Amino acid sequence: MPSAQPQSRGCAVVGVIAAVLVVIVLVAGAVWFVVSRDVLESGDFEAAPDCSIGETEALDELVPAHELEVQEAIGGAQETFGSGRQCRWATPGGDGDAVPATATLVTVVSPDPGGIDTAADNLRSSAGSDRETLDGIGDEAFTWTRSGGFNVGCAGVRVSNLYLETCHSAAADYDATRSIDAEQAVAGAVRLAEDAVAELPD
């Protein structure tokens, strides 16, 4: 009785080689993801700047005789969005020597890895769906308005993993019976943001 024909092992060898190649590709992809996430996406900022970056010529002009009313920490190590500070300046009331006005500044640094993406999410979340693109400042920026008794204009800017937001509002007269229009409020917020970004450390 003839012995059984030996079977070809070529297909089996090819299958093993293909499986090994798949494993190598998967491992390389995982290594690339970790390296790119930790190195390529790392942000430039380790901590949010304090309120002093908002104390600029724009603030002097937009909020006459301003006083710093709010200076407090926000977020923290346990917050996924990051940590930072919020500041608010206002024209003192009572004497009528200047038209009442306010300005606010928020700075938030998002932690790595992924800090840049988180800062971008913070920007879009704050700006909302009615935002307008603002060119020529930071890595990306938007403006928007808040309606109410007085018009409030805001500008949000992302610089690497830092989210920076400025808002401005003012009365149109000394008695504070009328508000400046929304376009003026936004223009003020943009000026505040431009000056604050210029004060960021290199």
Per-residue confidence (pLDDT) for residue 201, from 0 to 100: 87
Query: What are residue 145's DSSP bridge partners?
Result: 153
What was the pLDDT predicted at 12? Answer: 46
The pLDDT score that the predictor gives to residue 6 is 43
Sequence-distant (≥ 6) Cβ neighbours of residue 172 within 8 angstroms: 99, 178, 179, 180
How does pLDDT run across 71-127, given as a tens digit for each residue?
999 998 788 899 999 999 999 876 667 889 999 999 999 999 999 999 999 999 999
Question: Across all residues in the chain, what is the average pLDDT?
Answer: 84
> 6: phi > 0 → left, psi -120 to 50 → alpha, else beta; which?
beta
Tally of helices (H runs) and strands (E runs) in the chain: 4, 7
Residue, of 95 and 7, whose pLDDT is higher: 95
pTM: 0.78
H or E stretch including 186?
A: helix 182-198
Check pLDDT > 70 for residue 49: yes
Amino acid, single-letter form, for residue 1: M
* SS3 labels along 96-139: CCCCCEEEEEEEEECCCCCHHHHHHHHHHHHHCCCCEECCCCCC
Asked if pLDDT for residue 184 goes beyond 80, the answer is yes
Closest Cα partner for 59 from 104, 93, 95, 96?
Answer: 104
pLDDT at 95: 63
Nearest partner of 105 among 128, 84, 124, 119, judged by Cα? 84
The pLDDT of residue 42 is 75
201: Cβ contacts below 8 Å, ≥ 6 apart: 49
Q: Is 190 or 95 the better-scoring residue by pLDDT?
A: 190
pLDDT 10s digits, 140-170: 999 999 877 899 999 999 999 999 999 999 9
